[in-house]
Each structure stands twice: as C-alpha cells, then as structure tokens.
Structure 1
Amino acid sequence: MAETTTNRDRSTAQPAFRATGLRKTYDMGETQVHALRGVDLEIGAGEVLVLLGPSGSGKSTLLNIVGALDRPTAGQLWYEDTELTALNDHALTRFRRAHVGFIFQFYNLIPSLTAEENVRLVTDIATDPMPAAEALELVGLGDRRAHFPAQLSGGEQQRVAVARAIAKRPHVLFCDEPTGALDSKTGIKVLETLANANAELGATLIIITHNAGIAGMADRVFNFLDGRIASIEVNETRIAPSEISW
C-alpha cells in the first residue's frame, strides 16, 4: 500500500488521548518499583505511534493504562473529553468495549473455534460490528474463515487476531509486540494489515515493539527509558511496511 500521509496532516486532529503526570508504582514487598515516573503526552486521533525502549522501561505499563486495562498510581488521563482516570471499573469496561481493540504477541485464539467463530466472539458483544467474514476479508483471510487455528500458520493466526480486534470498528488499536513471534516476511504482512486498519477505519494505532525498523511506519516514535519518555522522533513521511528493514 502506498503511504503518503505525513505527520503534519495529523497535527490538526483532536487528540485521542491526553495525559499529565502519569505515574505507576508497584509495591514488591519492602521495595517500590516505579514503572512510570510522570509521563505527559498527547496522541492524535488517527495517529500511528510506535513505542520503543528496553524491557522494563514502561512501554507496556503505559499501554495498559491508556487502554484502560490498569490504573495509574497518580496523574490524569483523558480520551477525547472523557477523563478515564475518573471512571469506575464498570465504565472503563464499557469504554474498552466501545472504543478499543487489543492485539498481543500471542494470538489467544480458541483452538476449538474456526477463524470466523473466533472473530465472532467480539462481534457478538460489540455495538456496531462489521460481519466476522468481512473482517477476515480485510486481513486477507476470507478463504480461511472455516479453518481452525491449528490449520493456520503463525502469521495467519495473528491476522485472525487482528481481524478480531478490528471487527468491532475500534477507534484505537493497541498492539503489544504484534510481530514478536513472527519472521520478517510474515511480520510485514501483519504490519500491512495494521496499516490498512489505520487507513480504512481511521483507527489510532499504538504499537509496542523491540524492532526499531518498525518505527519508520509511524507518525511519531516515543523512546522510553526508566519509566519516562526520553525522546520523541517525528517522521515527516511514513514508510510502507514493505519498505521496513527487519
């Protein structure tokens, strides 16, 4: 897919997320682990954002908090005009159901269900889903919808997981090491699928990765170190996944 979108095109969009002073501290016996140390950020609607940094630098903690899977110890977080840090657990569940899709390194497919049935698990509870078969067509697996996970390659299973995430037409896709278990050829196919979801659904796309080459497909790159955003890189023009050096 040709990529012509520039970061300037997205700079005028209303922020999808805003955060001020996000902190997350875990008590480990008598020791405190500071996973986030006061993070301020804005993430634009429709933006592609890549989070880079060593293990333990705070990337996954931030993703879990912004995705409403976890709460910060301190700080405030908004999604558009809603302060997520002020919501109770029930309201956060409704937020995730209505707005968010998650994709992880391991596919979490149910082995006894076909690809289409795995996707339908989400469409049965979403408010405005696309048909499961349509979601599988979007990820290039329309002809594999009756296959079980064991009959699919690793890359195909990950694309089923992507189809499951996009089937409810989410406003935001959170991806934690989505290509971490894949070879370069298969990983690029998954990244192309994610780029298409960003382009066709307008979904904000946030990707955690250890693969610095993936940063080229982002509008911006947050480099994490010791629980903070150490630096931010801006790509004036995004590259297509097929151009990524693995």
Structure 2
Amino acid sequence: MVYNRTGKGEEVLHLDRVSKIYTMGEVQVEALKHVSVDFYESELVVLLGSSGSGKSTLLNIIGGLDVPSEGQLYFRGKEMTAATEDNLTVYRRESIGFVFQFYNLISSLTALENVQLVTEISSNPMSAEEALRLVNLSERMHHFPAQLSGGEQQRVAIARAVAKRPELLLCDEPTGALDYETGKLVLEVIRKVNEELGTTTLVITHNVSIAAMADRVIRMRSGEITEIESNKKKLSPSELSW
C-alpha cells in the first residue's frame, strides 16, 4: 500500500516496496520491510520511532547515502534506484540537504566559511551570508565553532544544508544533542526554512512531542511503517513540551 498525500503540493518522492537487508557475517538483518510512501512539495514530515525502527535507514536511502536491497525510489518521477554513482553524487549535491545530530562543522573554519564550502560547489546557491541570516546568525558568522553554543552550531549546520537550495531537507535527530530550550530554537529554524523556502522537510526523531509540529507523522517499528497521520492543527516549536 502507498500512503498518499495531505494535499500540500506535487509529489517529490515515491517509494515503492523498499526493503533493506544488511548481512553481518552469517546473519541477515532486515532493516526495512517493503516500505511504500510518498512525500510532497513543501510539507514537513516527522518520522517517529525508537532506535532500530528503520527510520535512519529510510532517510539514508532517500538521501542517496544507501541503496535498497529491493524496491524502487523515484525522485521527481526519475528512478534513483537505477542511478549510477555519479548520478547519485549529483543528486546528493544538488537536491539534498543533510542535518545530523552532531554538527560536523570544520573547526578551523568560521561559520561563514563552513557554509561557503557548500555554496562553492552548488549550481544555484544562495549566498552564505543569506543562509546565515535565515537561521538568525548574522552576528555570529565570523565566529569559529568552538566559539559557538551547541544550538548555534546546529543552526550553522542547517544554514550549510539549505544554502544550496535543496528540494529535500533531511534532519536526523537534529535536537538529540541539545537541551530543551535550545532544541526548540533549532526546531523553529527548521520550521522557518520549510515555510519560507518551501523545502520538503523530513525530521527523524524518537521524541514523540516533536510530531505535533509536522504536517504528517510517520510512525515506524521493526523496519515497517505502522501508521501515518496528518495533524489537523500544527503546533509551533514554541508550543512544544517534553
């Protein structure tokens, strides 16, 4: 079964019975089991599940960091499971923005220079200064990561991800290393990017409370989608509590 739209925009991604099996010695681990789901322009989706539920594996396949063992993934109608490694590199570079739990900033570069690393290799980027303004870091752009708080570093990572104007923003536990108040500030930036740029945004988390800010919530367990629900009323990050 393919779980369908909320009416927010045109289809960006279509996954058809995607499975992923990892072989560890003589043991095979089925990380994903025949997952079928669609994602649409401008929506914000939360993928919710505990550790081992398959949500990170799904995000890695969507982002072109991994390939399915079975099934197909289509981006804008083009089958990415048939893509060459060169095509996947272009897909990751031009169409995907990644935000991880740990910020992966280069310590010897300023916030501005960390973002410029992406803008220099992208075909239609915004300026690094514009990206940092979007995440409310204009006054901190010449600081090095060691001079920034955890929340500020994560916002630099978000600026770096969105500076290339990706069609998909993939956030893997973006608040996992942050305290409560700082985490909400980061979620507010993610919401702002989604709404102001219209970037299709996927956030994976084990934090149930974050689901209330999404257009749709996809719940996963043991490599399968167990439920998809739409939020009739979305909460702003400032209204969340956990």
User: TM-score band (shorter)?
Assistant: over 0.9
Say which SS state the counterpart of residue 223 (structure 1) adopts.
strand
Does 2:71 align with 1:65? Answer: no
- Normalised to the residue count of structure 1, the TM-score between the two structures is 0.95
**Which 4+ runs in 1 deviate beyond 6 A?**
none
For 1:81, the aligned partner's letter is: G
1:138-165 Cα shifts (integer Å, max 9, x gaps) = 1010000110000000000000000000
Does 2:185 align with 1:189? Answer: yes
Counterpart-to-counterpart distance in 1, 2:168 and 2:35: 20
Say which SS state the counterpart of residue 65 (structure 1) adopts.
helix
Say which SS state the counterpart of residue 108 (structure 1) adopts.
coil
Q: Is the 8 A contact 1:223 1:229 kept in 2?
A: yes
Counterpart-to-counterpart distance in 2, 1:182 and 1:12: 30
Q: Is the 8 A contact 2:74 2:81 kept in 1?
A: yes
Structure 2 match to 1:107: 103
Does 2:87 align with 1:91? Answer: yes
Structure 2 match to 1:180: 176
For 1:49, the aligned partner's letter is: V
Structure 2 match to 1:3: none
1:15-164 matched pairs, under 5 angstroms: 15-164=11-160
Q: Is the 8 A contact 1:19 1:40 kept in 2?
A: yes
1:189-209 Cα shifts (integer Å, max 9, x gaps) = 111101110011110000011
Q: What's the CA shift for 1:237? A: 2.2
For 1:157, the aligned partner's letter is: Q
Q: What's the CA shift for 1:12? A: 5.3
Gaps of 5+ in 2: none
Counterpart-to-counterpart distance in 2, 1:15 and 1:175: 19
Counterpart-to-counterpart distance in 1, 2:166 and 2:26: 41
CA RMSD, aligned part only?
1.0
Q: Is the 8 A contact 1:10 1:45 kept in 2?
A: no
Query: Kindly, what percent of the aligned residue pairs are identical?
Result: 56
Say which SS state the counterpart of residue 45 (structure 2) adopts.
strand
Counterpart-to-counterpart distance in 2, 1:80 and 1:186: 35
Counterpart-to-counterpart distance in 1, 2:167 and 2:187: 18
Counterpart-to-counterpart distance in 2, 1:57 and 1:94: 29
For 2:193, the aligned partner's letter is: A
For 1:230, the aligned partner's letter is: T
Q: Is the 8 A contact 1:19 1:42 kept in 2?
A: yes
Number of equivalent positions: 238
Does 2:202 align with 1:218? Answer: no
